[in-house]
Amino acid sequence: MNVLLLIALFPFAATQLTKSPANPPALVVTGARVIFFGPTQTERDSIIHVEGIDAGQVFDDFDYYSGKVGSYLKRRGVGVIMTTNPVIVVQFGDKLVRTIERKKLQDFVGVVLTDGVQEPRLYLGVSSDEELVSECAQFFKLK
């Protein structure tokens, strides 16, 4: 499944985050980073149980491609974060903030590109390593 889907949902409304056992603290991201996000292992197991073996293949593909792209980015000095955190807060520009609530998105997995300056980009679903490398190279102006 080679689907690269750029979601033009940014800017997200920033939300006030509380820290309680039911609401873990958000992952706060600054600077040049690529964030690969997806469900926890427990959530994956539940999704596979409901959706079937195809969902398991989606997760396997996502893990494979994100690992390859992550290695490429690290070699070029771009920070990589792999997370299952339900809330991701991206800080950029002059104190601008975008909040991503993973469970409210249309897909189980995705990628956020941020350089700390320009509007972050959100991609949902599984994309091949070639597609993601191309998008990252363009976004971060990599050679």
Tens-digit pLDDT profile for residues 84-132 = 999 999 999 888 999 999 989 989 999 999 999 999 999 999 999 999 9
pTM, two decimals, is: 0.82
Q: What is the pLDDT of residue 16?
A: 38
Q: List the domain boundaries for the chain.
A: 5-140
Nearest Cα to 28, choosing from 41, 15, 39?
Answer: 15
State the virtual CA torsion across 66, 69, 74, 75 in degrees, nearest 10.
150
Tens-digit pLDDT profile for residues 50-88 = 988 888 899 999 999 999 999 999 999 999 999 999 999
- Which residue pairs, CB below 8 angstroms and at least 24 apart, start in 53-58? 55/108, 57/1, 58/1, 58/108, 58/109, 58/126
Neighbour tally for 80: CB within 10 Å = 16
Tens-digit pLDDT profile for residues 15-36 = 333 344 456 789 999 999 999 9
Class (C level, CATH) for 5-140: alpha beta
